[in-house]
Structure 1
Protein backbone atom coordinates (compact mmCIF):
# COMPACT_ATOMS: atom_id res chain seq x y z
CA UNK A 1 0.00 0.00 0.00
CA UNK A 2 1.40 3.39 -0.91
CA UNK A 3 1.12 6.22 1.56
CA UNK A 4 1.60 9.64 0.10
CA UNK A 5 0.48 13.15 0.78
CA UNK A 6 -2.52 13.95 -1.35
CA UNK A 7 -3.20 17.36 -2.78
CA UNK A 8 -6.91 16.87 -2.11
CA UNK A 9 -6.32 16.56 1.63
CA UNK A 10 -5.66 20.30 1.77
CA UNK A 11 -8.29 21.85 -0.49
CA UNK A 12 -7.57 25.52 -1.16
CA UNK A 13 -11.08 26.17 -2.50
CA UNK A 14 -13.21 23.80 -0.41
CA UNK A 15 -16.84 23.11 -1.14
CA UNK A 16 -19.53 23.50 1.54
CA UNK A 17 -19.80 20.46 3.82
CA UNK A 18 -22.53 18.65 1.90
CA UNK A 19 -20.55 18.90 -1.37
CA UNK A 20 -17.16 18.22 0.20
CA UNK A 21 -17.43 14.48 -0.49
CA UNK A 22 -18.17 15.12 -4.18
CA UNK A 23 -15.13 17.41 -4.41
CA UNK A 24 -12.96 14.94 -2.54
CA UNK A 25 -14.08 12.01 -4.72
CA UNK A 26 -13.33 13.90 -7.95
CA UNK A 27 -9.93 14.85 -6.55
CA UNK A 28 -8.89 11.25 -5.84
CA UNK A 29 -6.99 11.24 -9.15
CA UNK A 30 -4.38 13.74 -10.25
CA UNK A 31 -4.71 14.18 -14.00
CA UNK A 32 -3.40 13.50 -16.54
CA UNK A 33 -1.21 10.68 -15.24
CA UNK A 34 -0.68 11.31 -11.54
CA UNK A 35 -1.53 9.03 -8.64
CA UNK A 36 -5.02 7.62 -8.19
CA UNK A 37 -6.34 7.01 -4.70
CA UNK A 38 -8.82 4.49 -6.10
CA UNK A 39 -6.20 2.47 -7.98
CA UNK A 40 -6.44 -0.61 -5.77
CA UNK A 41 -8.40 -1.78 -2.71
CA UNK A 42 -5.52 -1.33 -0.25
CA UNK A 43 -4.97 2.29 -1.27
CA UNK A 44 -8.70 3.06 -1.48
CA UNK A 45 -9.81 1.50 1.82
CA UNK A 46 -8.40 4.17 4.23
CA UNK A 47 -9.80 7.02 2.12
CA UNK A 48 -13.22 5.35 1.78
CA UNK A 49 -13.37 4.73 5.53
CA UNK A 50 -12.28 8.29 6.32
CA UNK A 51 -15.00 9.68 4.04
CA UNK A 52 -17.71 7.42 5.48
CA UNK A 53 -18.20 5.41 2.29
CA UNK A 54 -16.95 2.16 3.82
CA UNK A 55 -17.22 0.74 7.33
CA UNK A 56 -13.96 -0.59 8.85
CA UNK A 57 -15.08 -4.24 8.67
CA UNK A 58 -16.42 -4.05 5.12
CA UNK A 59 -14.51 -5.28 2.10
CA UNK A 60 -14.04 -3.65 -1.27
CA UNK A 61 -13.25 -5.33 -4.56
CA UNK A 62 -12.29 -4.33 -8.10
CA UNK A 63 -15.96 -4.13 -9.11
CA UNK A 64 -16.60 -1.57 -6.36
CA UNK A 65 -13.54 0.40 -7.43
CA UNK A 66 -14.60 0.31 -11.09
CA UNK A 67 -17.96 1.77 -10.04
CA UNK A 68 -16.30 4.44 -7.88
CA UNK A 69 -13.86 5.43 -10.63
CA UNK A 70 -16.75 5.62 -13.10
CA UNK A 71 -18.81 7.75 -10.70
CA UNK A 72 -15.78 9.98 -10.14
CA UNK A 73 -15.34 10.60 -13.87
CA UNK A 74 -19.10 11.16 -14.37
CA UNK A 75 -18.99 13.77 -11.61
CA UNK A 76 -15.89 15.33 -13.19
CA UNK A 77 -17.78 15.61 -16.51
CA UNK A 78 -20.62 17.36 -14.67
CA UNK A 79 -18.16 19.76 -13.02
CA UNK A 80 -16.52 20.51 -16.38
CA UNK A 81 -20.01 21.48 -17.58
CA UNK A 82 -20.49 23.67 -14.47
CA UNK A 83 -17.30 25.49 -15.51
CA UNK A 84 -18.65 26.22 -19.00
CA UNK A 85 -17.57 23.04 -20.78
CA UNK A 86 -19.78 20.71 -22.79
CA UNK A 87 -22.59 18.82 -21.10
CA UNK A 88 -21.74 15.27 -20.06
CA UNK A 89 -22.61 12.58 -22.58
CA UNK A 90 -24.97 9.70 -21.83
CA UNK A 91 -21.97 7.37 -21.79
CA UNK A 92 -20.17 9.60 -19.27
CA UNK A 93 -23.22 9.55 -16.99
CA UNK A 94 -23.77 5.77 -17.20
CA UNK A 95 -21.76 4.95 -14.03
CA UNK A 96 -23.72 7.59 -12.12
CA UNK A 97 -26.96 6.01 -13.31
CA UNK A 98 -25.68 2.62 -12.16
CA UNK A 99 -24.96 4.07 -8.71
CA UNK A 100 -28.40 5.66 -8.52
CA UNK A 101 -30.17 2.37 -7.82
CA UNK A 102 -30.13 2.66 -4.04
CA UNK A 103 -33.29 3.28 -2.05
CA UNK A 104 -33.99 6.49 -0.15
CA UNK A 105 -36.37 7.21 2.69
CA UNK A 106 -37.92 10.39 4.01
CA UNK A 107 -37.35 11.30 7.64
CA UNK A 108 -39.03 14.04 9.64
CA UNK A 109 -36.61 15.81 11.97
CA UNK A 110 -37.65 17.30 15.33
CA UNK A 111 -37.68 20.73 13.70
CA UNK A 112 -40.22 19.51 11.14
CA UNK A 113 -37.65 19.57 8.33
CA UNK A 114 -37.98 16.69 5.86
CA UNK A 115 -34.73 14.94 5.07
CA UNK A 116 -34.08 12.26 2.48
CA UNK A 117 -31.45 9.68 3.30
CA UNK A 118 -30.19 6.43 1.83
CA UNK A 119 -31.45 3.14 3.20
CA UNK A 120 -28.60 0.82 4.21
CA UNK A 121 -24.86 1.05 4.64
CA UNK A 122 -23.43 -0.59 1.53
CA UNK A 123 -21.20 1.34 -0.84
CA UNK A 124 -24.14 1.62 -3.27
CA UNK A 125 -26.34 3.01 -0.48
CA UNK A 126 -23.72 5.55 0.46
CA UNK A 127 -23.39 6.63 -3.16
CA UNK A 128 -27.15 7.18 -3.10
CA UNK A 129 -26.56 9.53 -0.15
CA UNK A 130 -23.99 11.37 -2.28
CA UNK A 131 -26.53 11.73 -5.10
CA UNK A 132 -29.12 13.07 -2.65
CA UNK A 133 -26.60 15.74 -1.57
CA UNK A 134 -26.08 16.69 -5.23
CA UNK A 135 -29.85 16.87 -5.71
CA UNK A 136 -30.18 19.28 -2.77
CA UNK A 137 -27.29 21.39 -4.08
CA UNK A 138 -28.84 21.52 -7.56
CA UNK A 139 -32.08 22.76 -6.00
CA UNK A 140 -30.45 25.51 -3.92
CA UNK A 141 -28.00 26.65 -6.63
CA UNK A 142 -24.76 25.71 -4.87
CA UNK A 143 -24.11 22.84 -7.30
CA UNK A 144 -23.26 25.20 -10.15
CA UNK A 145 -20.39 26.63 -8.07
CA UNK A 146 -18.60 23.29 -7.77
CA UNK A 147 -16.46 23.23 -10.92
CA UNK A 148 -13.55 21.46 -12.57
CA UNK A 149 -10.46 23.46 -13.47
CA UNK A 150 -10.51 24.66 -17.08
CA UNK A 151 -6.98 23.34 -17.56
CA UNK A 152 -7.63 20.02 -19.35
CA UNK A 153 -4.41 18.64 -17.88
CA UNK A 154 -5.73 19.33 -14.37
CA UNK A 155 -9.55 19.32 -14.03
CA UNK A 156 -9.19 19.55 -10.23
CA UNK A 157 -12.53 20.14 -8.48
CA UNK A 158 -12.86 23.49 -6.73
CA UNK A 159 -15.66 25.56 -5.25
CA UNK A 160 -16.04 28.95 -6.92
CA UNK A 161 -16.45 31.59 -4.23
CA UNK A 162 -15.55 34.48 -6.55
CA UNK A 163 -17.89 37.46 -6.44
CA UNK A 164 -19.21 36.92 -9.98
CA UNK A 165 -18.96 33.11 -9.82
CA UNK A 166 -16.80 33.20 -12.93
CA UNK A 167 -13.82 31.26 -11.58
CA UNK A 168 -12.31 28.85 -14.09
CA UNK A 169 -9.08 27.58 -12.53
CA UNK A 170 -8.30 25.63 -9.40
CA UNK A 171 -5.45 28.09 -8.83
CA UNK A 172 -4.57 31.23 -10.71
CA UNK A 173 -0.95 30.81 -9.61
CA UNK A 174 -0.57 27.46 -11.34
CA UNK A 175 -3.19 26.60 -13.94
CA UNK A 176 -4.40 30.14 -14.64
CA UNK A 177 -0.95 31.56 -15.35
CA UNK A 178 0.08 28.49 -17.33
CA UNK A 179 -2.93 28.75 -19.66
CA UNK A 180 -2.77 32.52 -19.99
CA UNK A 181 0.92 32.30 -20.94
CA UNK A 182 0.17 29.53 -23.44
CA UNK A 183 -2.61 31.64 -25.04
CA UNK A 184 -0.36 34.71 -25.11
CA UNK A 185 2.43 32.80 -26.89
CA UNK A 186 -0.08 31.39 -29.40
CA UNK A 187 -1.41 34.89 -30.18
CA UNK A 188 2.13 36.21 -30.53
CA UNK A 189 3.08 33.41 -32.96
CA UNK A 190 -0.10 34.02 -34.98
CA UNK A 191 0.66 37.73 -35.32
CA UNK A 192 4.16 37.14 -36.72
Structure 2
Protein backbone atom coordinates (compact mmCIF):
# COMPACT_ATOMS: atom_id res chain seq x y z
CA UNK A 1 0.00 0.00 0.00
CA UNK A 2 1.23 3.49 -0.85
CA UNK A 3 1.95 5.55 2.29
CA UNK A 4 0.25 8.52 0.63
CA UNK A 5 -3.06 6.89 -0.34
CA UNK A 6 -5.95 9.32 0.01
CA UNK A 7 -8.07 9.47 3.13
CA UNK A 8 -11.42 7.67 2.95
CA UNK A 9 -14.74 9.31 2.09
CA UNK A 10 -15.18 13.00 2.67
CA UNK A 11 -11.84 13.21 4.47
CA UNK A 12 -10.20 13.10 1.03
CA UNK A 13 -11.52 16.64 0.51
CA UNK A 14 -10.05 17.81 3.83
CA UNK A 15 -6.73 16.11 3.06
CA UNK A 16 -6.65 17.65 -0.42
CA UNK A 17 -7.34 21.13 0.96
CA UNK A 18 -4.60 20.89 3.60
CA UNK A 19 -2.19 19.62 0.96
CA UNK A 20 -2.74 22.58 -1.38
CA UNK A 21 0.28 24.16 0.31
CA UNK A 22 3.69 22.54 0.00
CA UNK A 23 5.32 23.84 3.19
CA UNK A 24 8.83 22.91 2.04
CA UNK A 25 8.71 24.81 -1.26
CA UNK A 26 5.99 27.35 -0.48
CA UNK A 27 4.06 26.36 -3.61
CA UNK A 28 0.33 26.91 -3.13
CA UNK A 29 -2.01 25.32 -5.66
CA UNK A 30 -4.72 27.76 -4.56
CA UNK A 31 -2.69 30.30 -6.57
CA UNK A 32 -3.64 28.41 -9.74
CA UNK A 33 -6.89 28.12 -11.65
CA UNK A 34 -6.50 24.33 -11.72
CA UNK A 35 -6.01 24.19 -7.95
CA UNK A 36 -9.14 26.25 -7.34
CA UNK A 37 -11.11 24.21 -9.86
CA UNK A 38 -10.08 20.96 -8.15
CA UNK A 39 -11.77 22.20 -4.96
CA UNK A 40 -14.63 23.95 -6.79
CA UNK A 41 -13.81 27.39 -5.39
CA UNK A 42 -13.72 30.78 -7.08
CA UNK A 43 -10.96 33.39 -6.86
CA UNK A 44 -12.72 35.58 -4.28
CA UNK A 45 -13.05 32.54 -1.98
CA UNK A 46 -9.30 31.77 -1.92
CA UNK A 47 -8.43 33.82 1.21
CA UNK A 48 -11.18 32.08 3.19
CA UNK A 49 -10.00 28.71 1.83
CA UNK A 50 -6.46 29.45 3.04
CA UNK A 51 -7.75 30.34 6.52
CA UNK A 52 -9.80 27.13 6.59
CA UNK A 53 -6.78 25.14 5.36
CA UNK A 54 -4.53 26.37 8.16
CA UNK A 55 -7.22 25.81 10.81
CA UNK A 56 -7.56 22.23 9.54
CA UNK A 57 -3.77 21.80 9.56
CA UNK A 58 -3.68 22.89 13.24
CA UNK A 59 -6.30 20.29 14.17
CA UNK A 60 -4.53 17.57 12.16
CA UNK A 61 -1.31 18.45 14.00
CA UNK A 62 -3.19 17.96 17.27
CA UNK A 63 -4.43 14.57 16.01
CA UNK A 64 -0.78 13.58 15.60
CA UNK A 65 0.08 14.80 19.12
CA UNK A 66 1.85 18.01 18.08
CA UNK A 67 1.33 21.59 19.11
CA UNK A 68 -0.01 23.82 16.36
CA UNK A 69 1.99 26.88 15.31
CA UNK A 70 1.50 30.17 17.16
CA UNK A 71 -1.90 31.66 16.41
CA UNK A 72 -3.44 28.43 15.06
CA UNK A 73 -5.93 26.48 17.12
CA UNK A 74 -8.89 24.14 17.02
CA UNK A 75 -11.11 26.99 18.20
CA UNK A 76 -10.52 28.76 14.87
CA UNK A 77 -11.80 25.69 13.01
CA UNK A 78 -14.76 25.54 15.37
CA UNK A 79 -15.61 29.17 14.58
CA UNK A 80 -15.23 28.65 10.83
CA UNK A 81 -17.42 25.55 10.77
CA UNK A 82 -20.08 27.33 12.84
CA UNK A 83 -20.71 29.43 9.73
CA UNK A 84 -21.56 26.29 7.76
CA UNK A 85 -25.00 25.23 8.96
CA UNK A 86 -25.91 21.62 8.29
CA UNK A 87 -29.20 19.79 8.18
CA UNK A 88 -30.18 16.17 8.48
CA UNK A 89 -31.50 14.84 5.18
CA UNK A 90 -33.51 11.63 5.04
CA UNK A 91 -33.77 9.77 1.74
CA UNK A 92 -36.62 7.58 0.44
CA UNK A 93 -35.11 4.49 2.11
CA UNK A 94 -35.00 6.25 5.48
CA UNK A 95 -31.21 6.69 5.57
CA UNK A 96 -30.14 9.89 7.28
CA UNK A 97 -27.11 12.00 6.35
CA UNK A 98 -25.83 15.50 6.95
CA UNK A 99 -26.11 18.01 4.14
CA UNK A 100 -25.18 21.69 3.87
CA UNK A 101 -28.13 24.06 4.19
CA UNK A 102 -26.89 26.12 1.26
CA UNK A 103 -27.06 24.93 -2.33
CA UNK A 104 -24.65 24.66 -3.99
CA UNK A 105 -22.52 24.14 -0.90
CA UNK A 106 -19.36 26.19 -0.48
CA UNK A 107 -16.03 24.74 0.57
CA UNK A 108 -16.59 25.38 4.29
CA UNK A 109 -19.95 23.61 4.21
CA UNK A 110 -18.49 20.63 2.35
CA UNK A 111 -15.65 20.42 4.89
CA UNK A 112 -18.15 20.63 7.76
CA UNK A 113 -20.08 17.67 6.35
CA UNK A 114 -16.84 15.70 5.93
CA UNK A 115 -15.68 16.44 9.48
CA UNK A 116 -19.08 15.58 10.98
CA UNK A 117 -19.29 12.30 9.06
CA UNK A 118 -15.69 11.35 9.90
CA UNK A 119 -16.29 12.15 13.57
CA UNK A 120 -19.36 9.92 13.56
CA UNK A 121 -17.55 6.97 11.98
CA UNK A 122 -14.34 7.37 14.03
CA UNK A 123 -11.98 8.30 11.19
CA UNK A 124 -11.56 12.04 11.90
CA UNK A 125 -8.73 11.59 14.45
CA UNK A 126 -6.74 9.52 11.94
CA UNK A 127 -6.31 12.48 9.58
CA UNK A 128 -2.96 13.87 10.69
CA UNK A 129 -0.18 16.16 9.60
CA UNK A 130 3.43 15.04 9.22
CA UNK A 131 5.69 15.67 12.21
CA UNK A 132 8.43 17.11 9.98
CA UNK A 133 8.37 20.91 10.33
CA UNK A 134 9.48 21.33 6.72
CA UNK A 135 6.69 19.07 5.43
CA UNK A 136 3.37 19.29 7.34
CA UNK A 137 1.67 17.19 4.64
CA UNK A 138 -1.72 15.78 5.63
CA UNK A 139 -2.06 12.01 5.56
CA UNK A 140 -4.52 9.40 6.73
CA UNK A 141 -3.03 7.13 9.39
CA UNK A 142 -3.93 3.57 8.42
CA UNK A 143 -1.54 1.97 10.91
CA UNK A 144 -3.21 -0.53 13.28
CA UNK A 145 -2.30 1.44 16.41
CA UNK A 146 -2.93 4.86 14.84
CA UNK A 147 0.47 6.16 15.90
CA UNK A 148 2.10 7.05 12.61
CA UNK A 149 4.25 10.20 12.82
CA UNK A 150 5.28 10.98 9.25
CA UNK A 151 3.50 11.23 5.92
CA UNK A 152 6.11 8.88 4.45
CA UNK A 153 8.51 6.67 6.34
CA UNK A 154 10.76 6.52 3.28
CA UNK A 155 11.12 10.32 3.10
CA UNK A 156 10.27 12.28 6.26
CA UNK A 157 10.66 9.36 8.63
CA UNK A 158 14.04 8.42 7.17
CA UNK A 159 15.25 12.03 7.42
CA UNK A 160 14.19 12.26 11.07
CA UNK A 161 15.84 8.97 11.97
CA UNK A 162 19.04 10.02 10.18
CA UNK A 163 19.10 13.33 12.11
CA UNK A 164 18.67 11.42 15.39
CA UNK A 165 21.43 8.98 14.43
CA UNK A 166 23.83 11.79 13.51
CA UNK A 167 23.07 13.70 16.72
CA UNK A 168 23.94 10.62 18.81
CA UNK A 169 27.20 10.04 16.91
CA UNK A 170 28.20 13.71 16.77
TM tier, smaller: 0.7 to 0.9
SS at match of 1:17: coil
TM-score (norm 1): 0.77
Which residue pairs with 2:148 in the alignment? 167
The reply to whether residue 94 of structure 1 matches residue 76 of structure 2 is yes
CA RMSD after TM alignment: 2.4
8 A Cα contact 2:49 2:107, kept in partner: no
* Structure 1 pair 90–100 and aligned structure 2 pair: CA distance change class (3 A): farther
Which residue pairs with 1:103 in the alignment? 85
Listed as ranges, the gaps of 5+ residues in structure 1 are 1-9
1:133-180 Cα distance to aligned partner (Å, 9 max, x none)? 102212221011111111111010111111221111111111001001
Query: Aligned partners of 1:133, 1:68: CA distance in 2, in Å?
Result: 15
Task: State the structure with more CA Rg.
Answer: 1
TM-score (norm 2): 0.86
* Structure 1 pair 115–89 and aligned structure 2 pair: CA distance change class (3 A): farther
Q: Quick one: higher RCO (CA 8 Å, sep 6+), 1 or 2? A: 2
Listed as ranges, the gaps of 5+ residues in structure 2 are none
Query: Aligned partners of 2:148, 2:23: CA distance in 1, in Å?
Result: 20
